[in-house]
Amino acid sequence: MRLKDKVAVVTGAGSGIGKKIAESFLEEGAKVVFSDISDNQETSEENSIYIKCDVSDSEQVSQLIQKTVEKFGKIDVIVNNAGVGALGGILDVTNEGWDKVIGVNLSGTMYGMRETAKEMKKQGINGSIINISSILGKVGFNGALAYCASKGGVVQLTRAGAVDLAQDKIRVNAIAPGFIRTKMTEDVLKDEGFNNLVTSSTLLGHVGEVDDIANAAIYLASDEAKYVTGEVLYVDGGWTAK
């Protein structure tokens, strides 16, 4: 078991990529906090709990970390996965849409990094902070201005955080998924034109699965990645190689 005795928090773990990461961490021996904004969720898995949290609220993020420590005694890993999208390019993005995406995707990631790092440093834990960015943090995409900006910001949060925390032996890395098959992408991928765009832009010619991201997260959370920090791991089927 690659994560035996580690305590991990995964935000946005109610569905999709986050849920798969959290479940995979459990299978690898970790004690896991599933966190999401939704009410009335729970986990029946041994060595896991569910904690509701809106990551755009810094106080709720602080409480998430404190409740984790109260339950499991420490925190070794956080995956800042919670994210939202909003349609709109430079000419039609709304203030509301912009603020929501930046608040969750960028500020929420920073809050998770900050509060986790404080606890890791306090306990002297050589922990792992994993942020979920996107290929759209590197390349532009029509009608996704706020999302692209937020995910590009996550890349720089990762690099700057790695520099800040290196002296405390806390590693900070990011995973940048390509298009992954989830409930969130299910409808758009049913559109033949959009699906063709995705597959033709991906060197391997197909959409990714949630397992692909979970496997990357397991590696970065584990001691196998003990010499890896400040990196962005693109799991995108070759989209950004061109």
The catalytic residue positions are 147
Pairing label, strands 171-177, 128-132 = parallel
Query: How far is Cα 133 from Cα 153, in angstroms, rounded to an integer?
Result: 9
Which residue in 95, 43, 94, 51 sits closest to 75, CA to CA?
A: 51
User: CA separation (Å) from 185 to 111, 130, 141, 207?
Assistant: 26, 22, 15, 10
User: CA separation (Å) from 223 to 11, 37, 170?
Assistant: 21, 30, 12
**Local structure of residue 139 (DSSP, 8 states):** S
Alpha-helix residue ranges (DSSP H) falling in the chain: 16-27, 58-72, 95-101, 108-123, 145-165, 183-190, 192-201, 210-221
